[in-house]
Chains A and B, each alone.
Chain A
Amino acid sequence: MARTRIGEKLIEGFIYLSGTTTTIVVLLIVLFLFKEGLGLFASTPLEEGYVLAIHPQNPLKTLDEASIKKIFNKEISEWAALGWKDGGKIKPFLPSNIEKTFEAKTLGQDFENLKPMMTAYFEANPALLVAMPGRYVDDKFPKLKLSNISLGDFLGGKDWFPTSQPIHSFGILSIILGTIWISVGALLLAIPMGVIAAIYLAEIARPTLRALVMPFIELLAGIPSVIYGFFGLVVIVPIIQQTFNLAVGETALAGSILLGIIALPTIITIGIDAIQSVPRELKEASLALGANHWQTIYKVVLPYAISGIVSAAILGVGRTVGETMAVLMVTGNAAQIPNSFLMPVRAITATVAAELGEAPQGGIHYKALFMLACILFVFTFFMNLLAEWVVSKRERK
């Protein structure tokens, strides 16, 4: 008696402990994600440690980011265009200019002579716009202030050039749209097919057939996505390329088809569970009133199972939006705003997976990728809220 009670207490304590720890860990992960990601908005898009300096004679004290980008992209070449009439031609100066401007030998082993040489050269050339690591630029040159990256720039920016010099572009519009295109395409394929398959297997197929097919469908859900990706790459991509006569077959369509296939098992199995949870008595009651099998399916079974079917669809969405490997392999990963399913696109997940390895920890690129992950998190979070809301609204009715 006493021993069982101690045993129960131990189990109770264990459940309490592991439950609490798990909950806290989950919350901490989310917190970490946002802490790292939100750092992005406390940084400027300038390469870390760099300064932007102008000559003291230069009357422009501030320059907006767009103009600076245009200068480095060679879209603006005259100071006059920015309001300094006598400035002449703008001469951007980047670390890549060092070897062209100075003799390599004179710089010293550790570039110890660079700063004085730089100062002398800068003084002689008022038209310079210098973008260099701060330690090589003398304090007497005025520094241009750049504003911090804003949420609007991040979400609405069209360009994703996270490593361009010296100013990075972190605009994720094309990436978000890429994800949306791929997912919407996948769901347009997977939801109707999945629901129809679920109805067939749950209501119409013979039990023997169902028993035969179900293990395979459940098996499909367990296949690693890299294998799906490989299949997509060697089968779906070439077919799309040939069918539509494209230069490359890695397109949003390939991603959609593949993700649709990946989401199918989830939708089918959960859909079947939902349909089979319809009480037998309810179906019999419908049949007993003279309704035929089809009427019973669409007037009783489907309305009863709809919340389960919606949650199947939502879980399918979760699977597609969060899917990484297969998307990375078949969508071409071009960060451009898609206007057709036959264009290469880049998804959020693929971006994070492909770039996190090469982004220095704690840098702006790293923070931008974390912010991207936060966006993904928020996206799926609201998706789930939406699902809950749909289901609860349905139940109240």
Chain B
Amino acid sequence: MLKILTRDLNFYYGQFKALQNINLEIQANTVTALIGPSGCGKSTYLRTLNRMNDLIEGARVEGEILIENRNIYDKTWDVNDLRKKVGMVFQKPTPFPKSIFENVAYGLRVNGEHNKKKIHETVERSLQQAALWDEVKDNLKKNALGLSGGQQQRLCIARTIAVEPDVILMDEPTSALDPISSAQIEDLVLALKENFTIVIVTHNMQQARRVSDKTAFFFLGQIEEFANTQTLFENPVSERTTNYIRGKFG
């Protein structure tokens, strides 16, 4: 099932055209990896999907992004509702300076959920889905800043899951983590695919190969190549893709 359709997307930071003519189809319950050298626009594209770029002064979007056939840049969308539907996990773990429980409950509370029982259930379920429950179930009242980096990142994933999004965007979620924590996050991504559509930006090509079904290679603000992950890594069409995935530049 088609989840996200990007049509003729151009994106500008002031005068600078950061994304050019992006067309991309993302299927539901798949993991799509966005790879490419620094500054190629992959993070910018990711952030257009939940309109995080709206926060940037002078940012401008042309074209359409349809999530379930509805243009997210349409005026009828409340951007806060959109962000509930399209969750995001950041590069650095960003737990709030609150307890573990409150971190996960945050999204529910700001969206007007007051039912304590419901909140408790959702927090527990989200932490379980994020494979963190067993490690923190006895310390839910502890400050989240006391967790390790990998735990913090899984907490951020739990926090995102708690508001029940359809899509989870991940912006280099393992780049600040050690290999063991990274591996846990990767396992988690594979497990979450069952319930969510995941778009992940990564600098780590092995990671893209391991977790994603499809991969888009971004270069200078354009999509150079988009294919099944296996195809893209084994039989790339473009020479630039070949050079990039063989580590000739990056």
On chain A, the residues within 8 Å of B160 by CB distance are 288-289
Interface bits B47-67 vs A (CB < 8 Å: 1, else 0): 000101001010000000000
**Is the pair A287, B52 in contact by a Cβ cutoff of 8 Å?**
yes
Which of B84, B96, B159 is the one whose CB lies under 8 Å from A300?
B96
**Is the pair A289, B163 in contact by a Cβ cutoff of 8 Å?**
yes
CA distance A286 to B159 in the complex (A): 10
**Is the pair A285, B96 in contact by a Cβ cutoff of 8 Å?**
yes
**Is the pair B98, A284 in contact by a Cβ cutoff of 8 Å?**
no
Which of A207, A279, A291, A292 is the one whose CB lies under 8 Å from B94?
A279
On chain A, the residues within 8 Å of B38 by CB distance are none
Which B residues, 12 to 32, have Cβ-Cβ distances below 8 Å to chain A? none
CA distance A281 to B171 in the complex (A): 11
The reply on B208 being an interface residue by CB < 8 A is no
A contact face: mostly helix, strand, loop, or mixed: helix
The reply on A35 being an interface residue by CB < 8 A is no
Distance between A317 CB and nearest chain B CB, rounded to angstroms: 25
The reply on B250 being an interface residue by CB < 8 A is no
Which A residues, 172 to 223, have Cβ-Cβ distances below 8 Å to chain B? 207
Number of A-B residue pairs, CB cutoff 8 Å, is: 70
CA distance A214 to B228 in the complex (A): 53
Chain B interface (Cβ < 8 Å from any Cβ of A): 50, 52, 55, 57, 80-81, 83-84, 87-88, 90-92, 94, 96-98, 106-107, 109-111, 143, 156, 159-160, 163
Which A residues, 238 to 289, have Cβ-Cβ distances below 8 Å to chain B? 279, 281-282, 284-289
Distance between A306 CB and nearest chain B CB, rounded to angstroms: 10
On chain B, the residues within 8 Å of A286 by CB distance are 96, 106, 110
CA distance A304 to B94 in the complex (A): 12
Chain A interface (Cβ < 8 Å from any Cβ of B): 207, 279, 281-282, 284-292, 295, 299-300, 303-304, 397
**Is the pair A303, B97 in contact by a Cβ cutoff of 8 Å?**
yes
CA distance A270 to B30 in the complex (A): 47
On chain B, the residues within 8 Å of A397 by CB distance are 143
**Is the pair B57, A299 in contact by a Cβ cutoff of 8 Å?**
no
Nearest residue (CB) in B for A283 is B55
Given A288-B52, A290-B110, A281 and B90 contact (CB-CB distance below 8 Å): yes
On chain A, the residues within 8 Å of B83 by CB distance are 287-290
CA distance A279 to B90 in the complex (A): 12
CA distance A292 to B143 in the complex (A): 24
On chain B, the residues within 8 Å of A299 by CB distance are 96, 106, 109-110
Given A284-B90, A285-B90, A299-B106, A290 and B57 contact (CB-CB distance below 8 Å): no
